[in-house]
Structure 1
Amino acid sequence: MRSGETNRRLIVFVFGLTAGYLLANWNSSSPGNRDRSSIYDRQPAVDSLYSHDDDTNHKIPGLTKKYFIDCGANTASSVLLFSETYPGAKDYIIHSFEIDERLRPYFTPFKQDSNLVVHCPEGVAKYEGDQTAYLEGAWYPGKMNANKDMQWGGGTLFVSLEEREAEDGGNRKLSRRVKVPLVDLSQWIQLNTRKEDYVILKLDVEGAEYGILRKMLDDNTFEWIDKLYGEFHEWQPTEFSMEEKEILYDDMATAGVYMLKWAGENRMFEDFDRMHTSLIPQNTPGLEWDVINSCSDRLRRGVTTPVTISIKIGMNAKAARRLVETIRAFRHFVPLTLFVYGDFVEQNPKLVKDWSDIYEIGIRAGSPLPQSYWQLQNDNILRMSIVSAEFRFKRLA
């Protein structure tokens, strides 16, 4: 990560991490068991599906717009994942559809930093009109959702008979019933994007995906789609029989339509590692807060050794500037490596650039966590944090 136009050294390190955080767990979680659908048995390996992370070479230069259509947006988890880790995310217009109006505040922080259009409450389906949505009720102490003390969030257009009749909404606690407007997603895409645009569609719509994909195939709407992410919910009640689902899977494979897995709540999408190659060998030693030090042994043997200092910079730019300037003012130059958060880089770009003229700059993570909390996070959260920080370093360089 060296700039060819300056002498700044933005040498990226990862502070106190083993490469294990890159080994993501691709099991998507949900109420009940979300088994890997048989659709994936019909798909080629992910590396052969898309030859480039963001292949707009076949589009018309200067006329191409980029869209990320986020269906089943929930608490803006996919907006966060896409914005923080998808290459070129800032160039995309994001349309987020969510049926639960109570979740609208989660999108507010992203409107300032992205081209985000929020459709809430509004659902996607194979038709246009109003329909009853089954939404999760408020959390309360002792509430059990799918046999877990958890708040799932969001809702669905399709429920079982038990969930429809139960006062508490059944296993998923879908106790709120509201009428929501629906758009015919197939027609919406054709009316609001162009074939020359680059369009990424993400579908995580709790069973409505079967009707939507069927209609998109019938309408030839995949001529507008460049990349499809999402999740199939075979366990979810829908209007489709298993035989009809199998026919849909076959028709998708015949048409060359493939869906890569995406789970915003789990901070993963299927080709994440292909887009973000790890620079850390898997046998890299070290743990957070550990210092690998051989200086004392060398001194005992009478061997002189140069001194270098590593400093973990927090989020207080004033205190950090004071410390670094103090060290810099000493008569003898002391090599420093300053480990900074991605958030710090974004908030203090000039300061970090000035430091990089003299010192090495390393990555801590995307944002701070209390001491000892870092290693408690799951692999996908750690991976997203590092990649997000890398993106901000690259923009600085």
Structure 2
Amino acid sequence: MNCFSDAQRQISPKAYNLIIVCLLGYILVDFVLFHWGPAPECENFALDVAKAHPDLPDGASQQVVNSITGSEEDPLCKTALGHLKFAPEVPIDKAWNQMKWIGAPAYCKVKGHLIESLDPLNNFRRGFALKFVSDVEDKTLVLPWLYGTKVNLNTKQRRVYLDFGANDFRTSVTWFLQMYPCDFTEVHAWEVNPGLFNIPSPGFNEDTNWIPENPHATRVIQTPKVSDWMVQRIKQYSTFVSDDDGKGSVNITRFMKEELKLAEEDTVVVKMDIEGAEWPILQRWLNDPEMAQIIDELFVEIHYKHPSMLDYHWGQFTHTREEATQLMAELRAKGFFVHAWP
């Protein structure tokens, strides 16, 4: 049964035309209002940068935005100011505030590659400060930004890891040998406390521990221990790491250049945790362009005095957290691919 007459089913061509015109008009209005011209986030960010840093030269705030969008290199990235964290970030400021365990990337690259933004608000320990982890030594934050994941450091014949303040054998030395994407040919570890850094005896052959696949995917005969190759490459030192040679201490800059004879053609990764003695060493490195060329990647715990760090016995230090942040920015501006450790 047909419920509609032929007259009811007929629609005037004028009505069709009117509908099409309305739809086209809606599309045009939407494009003009929301898709025409520069992204509003970038416009607002340029204004935010200019307001936050009125001392910037004319046009510098827009150059910051251009560097983020990839349209041109930011000239500020050659200065410490360019590596300091601008606020608010664009366009994801709130997204990284309380939920992101891994920090946002910095807009200034180092050695031509992205690196994490500095996060002094969380004492450079985002995961711990936001309670994602309970261990202040957690190293998850640096994993996405390792220089060794961006550049194949295994192509160099000599591959050196230096640990200043090695503590226990199973902390940083083991972590770098197992986790860092480079097969180090030699390891130099400094720890003045003889009761801490104890290299275990060899006795585990990694090559003979494999068995063919089985239905349960068990691939090893026994739980891996410290391998022979790992122990054989480590050289231990019990002197203090310092900026000058003294009784019981070593001028580490001189030692690296003259005794280890490290050079730009080597792979060199450095981790430094020497309880405040890092300040004069890093200041020297800022004024020594050779060191930025020698060191491929630097991990350093810069100690400072701040109420949030008093529970970790940092009240003895004199530098401020702002000074520590400034030092990190200056190192990056000089070409050091440097992270806060841990």
Instruction: Give the TM bin, normalised by the shorter chain.
Output: 0.3 to 0.5
Q: Return the TM-score normalized by structure 1.
A: 0.37
Q: Return the TM-score normalized by structure 2.
A: 0.43
User: Greater strand percent: which structure?
Assistant: 1
User: Quick check: which has more Rg, 1 or 2?
Assistant: 2
